[in-house]
Amino acid sequence: MSAWANGFRLGPYEILAPIGSGGMGEVWKARDTRLGRIVAIKRLKEPHGERFEQEARAVAALNHPNICQIHDVGPDYLVLEYIEGQPLLGPLALQEAIRLAIQIASALEEAHGRGILHRDLKPANILVTTKGTAKLLDFGLAKPMAGTDATRTLEGTISGTPAYMAPEQIEGKPCDARSDVFSFGAVLYEMLAGKRAFDGMAAVLRDDPKPPPALGSIVLRCLAKQPGQRFQTIAEVKAALESAITNPIEKPPPSIAVLPFANMSRDADDEYFSDGLAEEIINALTQVAGLRVIARTSAFAFKGKNEDVRRIAETLGVTNVLEGSVRRAGNRLRVTAQLIHATDGTHIWSQRYDREMTDVFAVQDEIAAAIVGALQVKLTGKPMSARPHEPNLAAYEAFLKGRQQFYKLSPEAYVRGVDYFQQAIALDPQWADPHAYLGRIHFALGYFSLRPASEMIPLARAEARKALELLPSEPIAHALLGAIAATHDFDWKEAEEQFRLAMASEAPPPDVHYTFALYYLLPLGRFDEAIQVQAKTIAQDPLNAVWRARRSLSFLCAEMYEPGIAEARKALELDDKSFNPHFLIALNYFFQGRPAKAREPAEEAFRIAPWLPAVGRFLAGVLTQAGEKDRAGKLLATIPETKRGGMAMYHFICSEIDAAIDCYERDIELHLLGATLWASAGFLKPLRAHPGWPKLAKMMNLPGTV
């Protein structure tokens, strides 16, 4: 169906901007000019009949704070309550999951009391508002009556989403409230575990899911195959959840944040060493089964801020905090460490280590082992993994300096990082880590068009392979090869295999999940999976602005613009000096149909990162659309044509589709690393409708329509 234009009038409703699209049709933000309120209008795929309107009125009669209200019904559209929020995504902290689950259950209880089933309960149909309230969307529009098969829609097709449908719903049998109980259990499972209970219809009918990390008895009873073995009403489920508030069924697993160790040395330059010590302890602890460890970026966000430990723990959602200090004098090293209980700030354990510098790795391992003992974490029959390779001290110091530069994400820092990693390799040729990180810098230089991909990819590939020669299980090296296979080689089977190997370890670092989502899932149009993977990454590293910006990118590709803007703003709160959040806010605004709102963040992104061609060309496109062609032309003239990033995007946003296709084809021929990223983005539908697109899709080994 044709899209409405911004400013289009639909009776008393003024269309403002697209919000997204779903199974039933498009969703638009609009203004009700009669009542002066903002609403959401869902344009249906085809006109409906009288029975549909009767059922819509039945749902509209529901008055519950956790149900999205229906305001009006037209021949091919619904007028709904406008909700600012984000889709429900896990994993969530236990108490937060219980709180939201009770709200969802309350909404279902209200509907069931009026004889209405939802029939399509899933996380995508639940928004969490900015005030933390759950709102159910797409409420069934079916009122089961005597003799009516509630499993079917008005058109007679099976209704629901396969991974969340009850077995009887899949088999086309009559459904009742217990079918919604099953779907509720699948949603609750995902809220707790951060992944689906079932992969699809076959799994629902055949498999029993592994118990979730909490509330296992409630969830698994909801997910019983036979309706008679489930909770018989959603009210029973709600009562069980309310009981769990004061009497938790399972205690949350122990968790810890390792804060950056204070540098007590006379030389301020030794800070890289104290930071590296804390990071190595983080890496060691991530190998411990049953212990949740906050990643480096979030733990280091409190560096130098002198915050109360209890507030840090509350912000990061952990039960324990490790802090310490390092004093280095000549070849002597003194490390102090103390483990603090987050609730009351009491000390669980403390220790001082006086060692020669050559014993630094032994100190790291001793501290990690002592923490495990203090927390009384039960290992699964295996001791903590031994260090695969112990580098010499000079190589270790060079590597730490290189990694410190890598995290700065700037062209100058990348150049310094290359030097440090090459020093580490020269000092210890048998150590895998410097090769893996050097490969990542080479890839980043090519990805951002700072250097030709044709030069950088062979270097990145060689370093990743060398890392795997030295350590075949190195996850970052496997993830790097997966990214190269997808973005440069267009070999999706090889990419899938490399990412499988990268995530085969017990605790792959967050970078691996991030790389998998960005370079593999997004280009293939698997937006829901990408968003879920990124949710796990953020749960492990909640204060990492990069992860949140990448999640905003996933929302953008899925045409979920409001959540995309909200996620980018969270990234901005964490790091206002990075171009990425500003750039993502601008992109989301522009493709939402609000180019004027995109102007300011686009300008700011370019001010911060004038070295990034894609940012400059996007701003030029925004300026062209605003009628400022002279300034746009001058800006474009400053970007060398050899740096091709963003050329196709520039032509696309200027509505020059033929030119965009030509540029895109050239980017693919040159194996520009960003070419695959936008291949399935929802806002590029006009590009994929072009007669030249099938050729481009074939060049990238993608289906003709993603």
Span 278-316, pLDDT tens digits: 887 887 788 776 778 888 888 888 887 878 888 888 888
Burial tier of 641 (Cβ tally within 10 Å: 0-12, 13-18, 19+): exposed
Residues 205 and 111 in one domain: yes
Residues 97 and 230 in one domain: yes
Give per-residue pLDDT as tens, 507-532: 788 889 889 999 999 999 998 888 88
Residues 591 and 692 in one domain: no
Please indicate, yes or no, whether the overall pTM of this predicted structure exceeds 0.75.
no
Considering 508, 542, 573, which residue would you say is the last residue of a domain? 508
Among residues 72, 76, 120, 541, the one annotated as catalytic is: 120
Query: How far apart are the two ends of the chain, measured CA to CA in Å?
Result: 18
120 is catalytic: yes
Q: Which of 366-380, 388-402, 575-589 has the highest mean pLDDT?
A: 575-589
| Residue 257 phi, psi dihedral angles, 5° rounding | -115, 125
The answer to whether residue 471 sits within a structural domain is: yes
Considering 361, 387, 413, which residue would you say is the last residue of a domain? 387
Residues 113 and 66 in one domain: no
Considering 207, 222, 246, which residue would you say is the last residue of a domain? 246
Helices assigned H by DSSP within 75-166 = 94-113
Residues 224 and 322 in one domain: no
User: Token digits for 452?
Assistant: 């030709």
Among all chains, which residue has been given the structure tokens 């969830």? Answer: 219
Across residues 686-703, what is the average pLDDT? 92
CATH number of the structural domain spanning residue 72: 3.30.200.20
Beta bridge mates, 334: 327, 354
The answer to whether residue 3 sits within a structural domain is: no
Closest CA to 687 of 705, 668, 667, 666: 705
Instruction: Tell which wins on pLDDT, 453 or 437.
Output: 437
Residues 229 and 111 in one domain: yes
Q: Please state which of the ranges 240-244, 271-275, 593-597 shows the lowest mean pLDDT.
A: 271-275
Note the pLDDT of residue 378: 40
What whole-number distance in Å separates Cα of residue 432 and Cα of residue 436? 6
Categorize the per-residue pLDDT at 251 as very low, low, confident or very high, splitting at 50, 70 and 90: low
What whole-number distance in Å separates Cα of residue 417 and Cα of residue 407? 9
Categorize the per-residue pLDDT at 156 as very low, low, confident or very high, splitting at 50, 70 and 90: very low
The answer to whether residue 614 sits within a structural domain is: no
User: Token digits for 151?
Assistant: 């499993």
The answer to whether residue 280 sits within a structural domain is: yes
Residues 482 and 424 in one domain: yes
Mean per-residue pLDDT over the chain, rounded: 85
Residue 583 has pLDDT above 90, yes or no: yes
Number of neighbours of residue 97 by Cβ within 10 angstroms: 24
Categorize the per-residue pLDDT at 588 as very low, low, confident or very high, splitting at 50, 70 and 90: very high
Task: Write the single-letter amino acid at 531.
Answer: I
Beta bridge mates, 626: none
DSSP letter for each residue of 142-196: ----TT--TTB-TTSSB-S-GGGS-HHHHTT----HHHHHHHHHHHHHHHHHSS-
Among all chains, which residue has been given the structure tokens 């990069």? Answer: 546
What whole-number distance in Å separates Cα of residue 456 and Cα of residue 487? 13
User: Token digits for 314?
Assistant: 């509350």
Note the pLDDT of residue 387: 66
For residue 96, give Cα distances in angstroms to 92, 217, 376.
6, 18, 26
User: How far out from the chain centre does Cα 196 lie?
Assistant: 15
Task: Write the single-letter amino acid at 615.
Answer: V
Residues 501 and 395 in one domain: yes
Rounded (10°) CA dihedral 566, 572, 574, 578: 140
Among all chains, which residue has been given the structure tokens 């409630």? Answer: 218
- 13-21/9-10 β-pairing: antiparallel
Angle at 404 between CA 399 and CA 405, to 5 degrees: 100
Task: Write the single-letter amino acid at 685.
Answer: K
- 262-263/347-356 β-pairing: unpaired
Note the pLDDT of residue 506: 67
- 255-258/320-329 β-pairing: parallel
Note the pLDDT of residue 145: 35
Note the pLDDT of residue 113: 86
CB 122, CB 183: distance < 8 Å: yes
Categorize the per-residue pLDDT at 158 as very low, low, confident or very high, splitting at 50, 70 and 90: very low
Residue 388 has pLDDT above 50, yes or no: yes
The answer to whether residue 1 sits within a structural domain is: no
Give per-residue pLDDT as tens, 187-237: 999 999 888 999 888 888 888 888 888 888 899 999 998 898 899 999 999
Domain count, the chain: 6
Residue 149 has pLDDT above 50, yes or no: no
Domain of residue 473 covers 391-508
Residues 495 and 592 in one domain: no
Percent above pLDDT 70 for the chain: 89
Please tell me the total number of residues recorded for the chain in this structure: 706
The answer to whether residue 605 sits within a structural domain is: no
CATH number of the structural domain spanning residue 209: 1.10.510.10
Residue 269 has pLDDT above 80, yes or no: no
Residues 668 and 706 in one domain: yes
Number of neighbours of residue 625 by Cβ within 10 angstroms: 18
Q: Please state which of the ranges 5-9, 269-273, 417-421 shows the lowest mean pLDDT.
A: 269-273
* Secondary structure letter of residue 558 according to DSSP: T
Across residues 621-641, what is the average pLDDT? 93
Categorize the per-residue pLDDT at 643 as very low, low, confident or very high, splitting at 50, 70 and 90: confident
Angle at 150 between CA 144 and CA 152, to 5 degrees: 135
Q: Please state which of the ranges 50-54, 495-499, 532-536, 649-653 shows the lowest mean pLDDT.
A: 50-54
Which H or E run contains 358? none
Residues 421 and 559 in one domain: no
Rounded (10°) CA dihedral 52, 46, 63, 134: 140
**Which residues have C-beta within 8 Å of that of residue 617, sequence separation ≥ 6?**
636, 639, 645, 646, 647, 649, 650
CATH number of the structural domain spanning residue 321: 3.40.50.10610
The answer to whether residue 539 sits within a structural domain is: yes
Rounded (10°) CA dihedral 18, 20, 26, 28: -30
Residues 463 and 533 in one domain: no
The answer to whether residue 631 sits within a structural domain is: no
CATH number of the structural domain spanning residue 551: 1.25.40.10
CB 233, CB 177: distance < 8 Å: yes
Across residues 91-111, what is the average pLDDT? 92
Residue 155 has pLDDT above 60, yes or no: no
